[in-house]
Amino acid sequence: MTIKRILCAVLASLMLSLSLTACTPGGENNETTAANSDVITVTLPEVTTDEETETEPDHDDPSLKLDHLTIGGVDISEYTVVIPATPGSYDQLAADFLVRFIGEATGVTVRQTTDAEAAGHMILVGATAYDTEAVKAARLQIKDDGYAMLVDGGNLYVTGALDRGTLFGVYDFLEKYLGVRIYGGVTSPEKQEMYEIKENLRVDIPADLCTVYYSHVAYRRTSWTAVNDGWAYFPFWNCYNSSEFKFAGGPVHTIAHLAETGGDLSPNPCLTDENIYQTVLKNVRLELEKYPNAQYVNISQTDGTSHGCQCKNCKAVEAEEGSPSGPWIRFVNRIANDIKDDYPNVLVETLAYTFTEKPPKVTKPKKNVAVCLCTSSCCFVHAIDDPDCPRNATFAGYVKGWAEICDHLRIWTYSGNFQAVDNGDKNGFAPNFRVIRQSVKFFIDHNVTAVYVEGQQHPEDRVSTAMGELRAYLWGRVLWNPDMTEEEFTAYTNDFMNYYYGDAGPLLLKYVDTVYGDMLDNTKYNKLMEGHSYVICEYGRFFRIYDTEGNCTTAYMDKLADIWAEIYALDTLTETQKYHVDCAAVQFYDIATSVYNTIASKTRDSDVRQKVREYKAKWREAKEIAGLSAK
């Protein structure tokens, strides 16, 4: 064994000696292994020898990422992957992932079978006939779609209380021990798989491994998955999770439908009208009869409305409650009370959205009522709990207020700027991903157990020009592990950007962070830049910098253009990475064209007019490459 391999072995042993191997329930996972190099960094002294040693490659096969993988001291080649003879919904997929990535990482083709067949050393996926008492006891500690991962009797068990929990356990196993990163998302017209395997060299899984993990967020979804639902390699961290939350009727903006007064965008009906109440109650019961497995029925305000009913009775309730949310909570409380005996497992959900964000001061939601608080009035440049952001300080007070009176508090938030651009919806510039982790942590600390993240959600939005794939990935990661550190969050961000955009990744982050930093810098002279960004915001305002005489200047746009020039000067990108860069470039060149047009309208400067033509040409070229129609 060479000096290099000795050092690798010492490093692996040292890291394993620091591992915590007791089962850790309650959404915590304190285990640290040799595969988790982000957690512990050890610097070994340089070793020299008088003898010359032959230089050998990192691996026996340079294409492999692990040259050593054992479970309880037994080499991975001795193991068989075993699923139940009657597998759960995701057991087969989980097993296929294991076999595939063990093979890609180690070069070992692990056999796969069912528990109807005897095997030697086993990796057991799901609830199998070989479950021991320790495995059954660990499974009882799992909540929602979490998992248990333990070694017992020389066998490795990965199992969930729900089928998806088993799959998530396999995902975590692959990431922690094999260094697999699955990035997902629409990647190119060819839908190339997006994953990589980090180099770990040597991994020894301890014989007394015992981990129970579940997220604090029982329901997690980003709407990006609705666009990409058919692609098997999209990480399910971003999908409907837990016990497949089911809605009767529709998920949101249902009141006018139920009241038979209109549709999603109609005026809100009177909530103190007995005829309206009886009509809604009738239709709620009809919906629940049609969907006997429903867990939620939604009764919420219509979209695009700024107020509820303005009649004397409704306004009197608002005054008494100190908020327009008062009539809504009273209304849904009454529905919840009327159906609770017939539907004891159903929650009645309502929105706290736009004019109903503020909680009522008198009436509390009943125990079978869920409130979904929407962040539509928030600033997305700052974290929700940033005390220096007036908008978010107010909203944080709403979160705390609802948390005090509501047993089931959900959050509806947004992953991008909904200001429409010409290639579809929700692709406007939004420098907001840096605060995702802090905002989610605030939600979790205030009893939020469900988060929906709205972003790209229609087939025409499959291509993001605002790095929507990055946001979906990071939201999924943080909602799965809200306790991650800022260092871990940064590592996930960098991993994604480096893989997805290649050497352009750091430069794209420089571009986004430059705009983000300048937004926060109040010394910049911009009549429109207030240091905040909203869910619907004319994003061009971030880029129009004015001189002290009030004239829009080219200096700022030229600074950003220099970064893009660096990006396009790179000759190391793959074709897929170039495609991703062009998708992101659509947004910049659209903005650059707009800014220079603004300047050109007030000057005869030929250089400025030439810039307009250049940027517009680049914008059209990027759109064509991205597969978007140029208008």
What dihedral angle (degrees, nearest 10) is formed by the CA atoms of 595, 596, 602, 608?
160
pTM: 0.85
Is residue 95 pLDDT above 60, yes or no? yes
pLDDT for residue 604:
81
Residue 458 has pLDDT above 70, yes or no: no
> Quick one: pLDDT band at residue 29, thresholds 50, 70, 90?
very low
User: What kind of architecture, by CATH, is found in domain 3-214?
Assistant: 2-Layer Sandwich (3.30)
| pLDDT given for residue 453 in this prediction | 87
Average pLDDT score, the chain: 82
The backbone torsions φ and ψ at residue 42, rounded to the nearest 5 degrees and listed phi first, read: -120, 130
Residue 541 exposed, middle or buried by CB count within 10 Å (0-12, 13-18, 19+): middle
| Sequence letter at residue 607 | D
Q: What share of the chain is helix, strand, coil (3-state, %, to 5)?
A: 40, 15, 45
Antiparallel, parallel or unpaired: β 210-213 and 147-152: antiparallel
Least trusted range by pLDDT, from 19-23, 528-532, 612-616: 19-23
Spatial separation of the C-alpha atoms in residues 440 and 532, rounded to whole Å = 19
Classify residue 256 by its DSSP letter.
H
Q: What is the DSSP string of 494-509?
A: HHHHHHHHGGGHHHHH
- The one-character DSSP state at 531 is S
Kindly report the backbone phi and psi dihedral angles of residue 45, in degrees, each rounded to the nearest multiple of 5, phi listed first.
-65, 150
CA distance 121 to 81: 9
Question: Are the CB atoms for 170 and 182 separated by under 8 Å?
Answer: no
Percent of the chain with pLDDT over 70: 78
* pLDDT the model gives residue 462: 59
Q: Read off the DSSP letter of residue 61.
A: S
* Distance, CA of 396 to CA of 390 (rounded, Å): 10
489 confidence band (pLDDT: 50, 70, 90):
very high
pLDDT band at 238 (very low <50, low <70, confident <90, very high): very low
Please give the structure tokens belonging to residue 96: 């296929």
Tokens of 456: 């790209």
Task: List own/partner pairs for 373-376 with CB under 8 A and 24 or more apart.
Answer: 373/398, 373/399, 373/402, 373/409, 373/410, 373/411, 373/412, 374/411, 374/412, 374/413, 375/411, 375/412, 375/413, 375/414, 375/535, 376/414, 376/535
Residue ranges of the domains in the chain?
A: 3-214, 246-368, 505-626
How far CA 623 is from CA of 192, 464, 582, 585, in Å, comes to 20, 11, 7, 8
How many CB atoms neighbour CB 83 within 10 A? 24
Q: How many CB atoms lie within 10 A of CB 422?
A: 14
Q: What is the pLDDT of residue 248?
A: 65
CA–CA distance, 234 with 230 (Å, rounded to integer) = 9
Higher pLDDT residue, 618 or 550?
Answer: 618
- Write out the two tokens for 69: 């993988």
